[in-house]
């Protein structure tokens, strides 16, 4: 049996440890101001990010005053707990013009977990600048690359033509966002929920005859990734396919979303996975608008039961079992 003194000191040590841990998790949020005219601590986004110490454990808001920040931005994996906050997605823009491999050409690259962005547009101008040149082929030109877990975006924009959002790896949540592109402009292996957002197809404006919104890359039935669109609207110029199968278990669900009259009658494309359609999960549930007529959809489009739908459309079941979304919002 331990002495009363031991029990007292053990209890005191445990109490202090728990309170220190709690203090670390609930430490006051730090704010850094970025202003291009020199009225903040930094004039570029990247310099503000670089100022945050590696293995940071304190939530830090990087506040971006209105302006077009013409730079590439990268958050390395050693710098978690960052919030990028602009003045509105039409007022604060991070843009660059580059093409090629997503790992090299993306305007914004995220490798750190526990990240949030609000009121910012991420833009890759490369393809947008090339559309008037008939000798130039549209190519990969991502506005953002997400290669990290627990990333959320509120009232953000992602603008490009091909591969606009490289939703590569991790759990990601988007609310009231805007996505613009024409070819596979939301693609990757992410486990992501998009809600109350606009997906704008700009195919005809860049001279394309067909557009593809998603190219999701789920590769096996053991994986939990997929793209889910709740209460979204699809606008622009088509014809546009809701998705084409980047891998043979590609998973995309549209729920209670509105489609303008731009959706290709078939709706979906098996792409390189023709003949393997039984493993693809593509579904439209309770969608409406002139583009939601499913009478000519591909025969292999899935009809999901109510129980199957629940695991997709409820954030708590699909990607938020550990309440990371609510935890992040405490620090805004």
Query: Which of left, alpha, beta for 242 (phi over 0: left; psi -120 to 50: alpha)?
Result: alpha
Among residues 104, 159, 106, 97, the alpha carbon closest in space to that of 125 is found at: 97
Closest to 297 in 3D by CA, of 236, 234, 243: 243
Mind listing the pLDDT tens digit for each residue in 224-250? Answer: 999 999 999 999 998 999 999 999 999
Annotate 181-235 with three-state secondary structure.
ECEEEEEECCEEEEECCEEEEECHHHCCCCEEEEEECCCCCCCCCEEEEECCEEE
The string of pLDDT tens digits covering residues 266-325 is: 999 999 999 999 999 999 999 999 999 999 999 999 999 999 999 999 999 999 999 999
pTM for this prediction: 0.91
Contacts of 198 (CB under 8 A, 6+ apart): 177, 178, 179, 232, 233, 234, 235
Q: Give the pLDDT of residue 10.
A: 41
Distance CA 133, CA 130 (A): 5
Nearest to 157 by CA among 142, 172, 177, 185: 177
DSSP 331: T
Residue holding tokens 């990087």? 62
Catalytic center residues: 163, 184
- Ramachandran assignment for 188, one of left (phi > 0), alpha (psi -120 to 50 degrees), beta (any other): left
CA distance 124 to 304: 36
DSSP string, 218-280: --STT---EEEEES-EEEEES-EEEEE-SSTT-EEEEES-EE-TTB-TT-EE-GGGTT-GGG-
The rounded distance, in Å, linking the Cα atoms of 326 and 332 is: 11
- Overall residue count recorded for the chain in this entry: 332
pLDDT of 13: 42
- The pLDDT score that the predictor gives to residue 28 is 65
Map tokens 């710098």 to a residue.
Answer: 79
332 residues of the chain, pLDDT tens digit each: 455 444 434 443 444 344 434 434 556 689 999 999 999 999 999 999 999 999 999 999 999 999 999 999 999 999 999 999 999 999 999 999 999 888 899 999 999 999 999 999 999 999 887 665 554 678 999 999 999 999 999 999 999 999 999 999 999 999 999 999 999 999 999 999 999 999 999 998 888 889 999 999 999 999 999 999 999 999 999 899 999 999 999 999 999 999 999 999 999 999 999 999 999 999 999 999 999 999 999 999 999 999 999 999 999 999 999 999 999 999 99
């Amino acid at each position: 049996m331990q002495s009363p003194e031991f029990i007292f000191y053990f209890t005191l040590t445990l109490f202090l440890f728990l309170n220190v841990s709690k203090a670390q998790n609930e430490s006051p949020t730090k704010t850094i101001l970025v202003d291009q005219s020199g009225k903040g601590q930094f004039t570029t986004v990247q310099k503000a990010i670089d100022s945050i110490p590696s293995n940071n454990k304190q939530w830090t808001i990087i506040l971006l005053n209105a302006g077009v920040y013409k730079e590439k931005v990268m958050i390395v994996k050693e710098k978690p707990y960052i919030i990028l906050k602009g003045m509105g997605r039409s007022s604060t823009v991070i843009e660059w013009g580059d093409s090629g491999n997503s790992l090299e050409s993306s305007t914004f690259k995220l490798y750190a977990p526990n990240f949030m962005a609000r009121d910012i547009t991420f833009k890759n101008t490369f393809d947008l600048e090339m559309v008037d040149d008939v000798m130039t082929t549209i190519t990969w030109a991502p506005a953002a690359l997400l290669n990290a877990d627990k990333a959320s975006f509120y009232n953000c924009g992602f603008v490009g033509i091909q591969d606009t959002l490289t939703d590569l790896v991790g759990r990601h949540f988007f609310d009231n966002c805007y996505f613009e592109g024409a070819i596979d402009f939301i693609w990757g292996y992410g486990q992501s929920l998009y809600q109350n957002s606009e997906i704008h197809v700009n195919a005809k404006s860049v001279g394309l005859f067909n557009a593809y919104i998603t190219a999701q890359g789920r590769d096996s039935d053991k994986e939990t990734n997929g793209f889910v669109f709740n209460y979204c609207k699809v606008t622009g110029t088509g014809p546009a396919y809701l998705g084409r199968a980047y891998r043979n278990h590609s998973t995309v669900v549209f729920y209670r979303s509105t489609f303008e009259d731009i959706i290709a009658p078939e709706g979906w494309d098996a792409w390189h996975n023709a003949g393997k359609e039984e493993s693809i999960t593509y579904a439209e549930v309770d969608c409406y608008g002139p583009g939601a007529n499913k009478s000519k959809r591909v025969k292999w489009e899935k009809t999901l039961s109510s129980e199957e739908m629940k695991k997709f459309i409820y954030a708590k079941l699909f990607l938020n079992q550990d309440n990371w979304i609510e935890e992040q919002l405490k620090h805004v």
